[in-house]
A and B are shown apart, each in its own frame.
Chain A
Amino acid sequence: QKEVEQDPGPLSVPEGAIVSLNCTYSNSAFQYFMWYRQYSRKGPELLMYTYSSGNKEDGRFTAQVDKSSKYISLFIRDSQPSDSATYLCATSSGGFKTIFGAGTRLFVKA
């Protein structure tokens, strides 16, 4: 079993839709949770960074962490074609090791 599981997709949605991206993890020691966006041929860009459980909102993006079920989510409201990218979830226990999901490829159609 991988430490972080993420459906690779692809996920295709119409413009304006609410997108839900999800990951599960297995290690209860993970305390820090990240979402990265990666455009083709570019490095990953940090979107959201949360500690422990709860919600965090930044513009059209909301990150949710449920430590009881070891489930992390990223919601994108009013999705735009420019949101088309690969979204990587990541987690760490606070040390230097960061574990990444496989990444979900998202396509937002105009």
Chain B
Amino acid sequence: GAVVSQHPSWVICKSGTSVKIECRSLDFQATTMFWYRQFPKQSLMLMATSNEGSKATYEQGVEKDKFLINHASLTLSTLTVTSAHPEDSSFYICSATKGQGSPLHFGNGTRLTVT
């Protein structure tokens, strides 16, 4: 159990457009979901924490108006990269947890390329 599905796995978009990434917990209810960004050969960088039905908490330096997070249900969170620019090109990974003290379970990531 504890499967997290993330879509799409890769996306190419033009500069100035918006891209939505979905993260679903398939076999458990996720009280909290997290969005990470990962640069090549680097570790995970936490962008924001989202709780169902409330506003996301963004890490310092992450623009909340650029990276819109919606956690509409206990099984779905979305990340929308608005007005994407080439510097937003990266690997975005979501994770979900069943609750405090439970480990994070990750999706397979989305590779975003902005041309």
Contacts and interface: CB of A to CB of B under 8 A. Distances in A.
A43 B43 contact: no
A101 B43 contact: yes
B43 A102 contact: yes
B77 interface: no
Interface stretch (A14-22, A44-52, A62-70): A44-52
A39 to B, nearest CB: 10
Interface string B1-38: 01010100000000000000000000000001000000
Majority SS at the chain A contact face: strand
B95 to A, nearest CB: 8
Chain B, interface residues (CB within 8 Å), range: 20 to 34
A32 interface: yes
Contacts of B6: 43
Contacts of B95: 43
A44 B41 CA distance: 13
Contact of B106 (A43, A95, A102): A43
B97 to A, nearest CB: 7
A94 interface: yes
A45 B103 contact: no
A88 B43 contact: yes
Which 10 A-B residue pairings sit nearest by Cβ, starting from the closest? A43-B106, A43-B108, A94-B101, A43-B109, A49-B103, A102-B43, A44-B106, A43-B93, A103-B43, A43-B107
28 contacts: A32-B101, A32-B103, A36-B106, A41-B91, A41-B109, A41-B111, A42-B108, A43-B6, A43-B106, A43-B107, A43-B109, A44-B44, A44-B106, A45-B106, A46-B2, A46-B106, A49-B103, A90-B104, A94-B100, A95-B100, A96-B32, A96-B49, A96-B97, A98-B103, A98-B104, A100-B43, A102-B42, A105-B41
Given A46-B103, A90-B103, A100-B44, 5 more contacts: A44-B93, A94-B101, A98-B103, A101-B43, A102-B42
